[in-house]
């Protein structure tokens, strides 16, 4: 009995020292244009890879709408600000996410999740991974469109050319909301209802800045052979020099960075910004690259 009485406190002490196994941080994914939450060759595949490599992880692949068709259509036609509000509501009511989560956005989903980070700090986003997101705007020239959506994109291209910054187009066409024409900078700053807002083009929202700076890491992946995003450097927060559409400048030479309107300069100096390049066209990468380069940010 004496030995048993001695063993119990020792075991209890060990339990206190070791504690429970650390919980795996949940992951939220937002797909790109013309895609859906659960496409087995895109987001569904990514979700399975993550779940296989990180046992026990909770993955939420965002769906905007009541079914996959609506989800795909909304990636073209649902006001981005409304989409972001819908996602903020989803995250706030998901019990798995209340302790914080990592976020990974693909193409336009990258800047949409950045808007979530800036506008909705609860539950907290810990790390943001933007895979081909167009953070200074796109798609100037709208060169092509994914998969079976080419007929939609032909119509979108004509609509954007006719009036990207008109109120009707801005409110009902997703791609217009991050259309950044370097030849019409004033129109962009005045009329862009989404990107100009989250990029602090019309004034400084200190809450946006504070919330973004709360990220542990902001990872930006640029596709080095991208033929869809114009200019590709937008994926690293760079863009064309104002007033022309040939010469580009990196983030560090933009007024956004120099004036530190979003806190990116301070984040950069603190080592919070990560710039990754991968060979390949837009969203073309290998599972090996994903495993070795992206998964470490989720573990």
Q: Known catalytic residue: 226? A: yes
CA angle 168, 199, 135 (to 5 degrees): 90
Q: What is the DSSP annotation of 175-235? A: GGGG---TT-HHHHHHH-SSHHHHTTSSS--HHHHHHHHT-SEEEEEEETT-SSSSSGGGG
CB 194 within 8 A of CB 85: no
Q: Which two tokens stand for residue 214?
A: 């709360």
Cα–Cα dist 262/260, whole Å = 5
Q: Which of 107, 138, 191, 234 is catalytic?
A: 107
Q: Known catalytic residue: 180? A: no
Q: Known catalytic residue: 291? A: no
3-class DSSP state for residue 103? strand
Q: Which of 35, 71, 197, 226 is catalytic?
A: 226
Cα–Cα dist 114/199, whole Å = 10
End-to-end CA distance of the chain: 44
Please list the active-site residues. 107, 226, 282
């Amino acid at each position: 009995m004496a030995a048993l009485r001695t063993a119990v406190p020792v075991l209890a002490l060990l339990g206190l020292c070791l504690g429970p196994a650390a919980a795996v941080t949940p992951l939220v994914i937002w797909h790109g244009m013309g895609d859906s939450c659960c496409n087995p060759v895109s987001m569904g595949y990514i979700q399975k890879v993550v779940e296989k490599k990180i046992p026990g992880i909770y993955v939420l692949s965002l769906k905007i709408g009541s079914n996959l068709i609506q989800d795909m259509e909304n990636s073209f036609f649902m006001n981005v600000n409304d989409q972001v509000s819908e996602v903020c509501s989803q995250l706030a009511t998901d019990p798995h996410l209340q302790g914080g989560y990592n976020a990974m956005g693909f193409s336009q989903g990258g800047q949409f999740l950045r808007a979530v980070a800036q506008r909705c700090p609860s539950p907290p986003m810990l790390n943001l991974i933007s895979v081909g997101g167009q953070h200074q705007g796109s798609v100037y020239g709208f060169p092509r469109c994914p998969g079976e959506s080419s007929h939609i994109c032909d119509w979108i291209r004509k609509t954007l050319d006719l009036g990207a910054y008109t109120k009707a187009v801005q409110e009902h066409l997703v791609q217009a909301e991050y259309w950044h024409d370097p030849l019409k900078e004033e129109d962009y700053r005045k009329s862009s209802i989404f990107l100009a807002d989250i990029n602090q083009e019309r004034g400084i929202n200190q809450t946006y800045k504070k919330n973004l700076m709360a990220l542990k890491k902001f990872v930006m992946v640029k596709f080095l052979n991208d033929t869809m995003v114009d200019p590709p450097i937008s994926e690293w927060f760079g863009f064309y020099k104002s007033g022309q559409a040939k010469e580009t400048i990196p983030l560090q030479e933009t007024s956004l960075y120099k004036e530190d309107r979003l806190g990116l300069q301070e984040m950069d100096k603190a080592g919070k910004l990560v710039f990754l390049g991968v060979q390949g066209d837009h969203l073309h990468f290998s599972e090996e690259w994903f495993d070795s380069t992206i998964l470490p940010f989720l573990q």
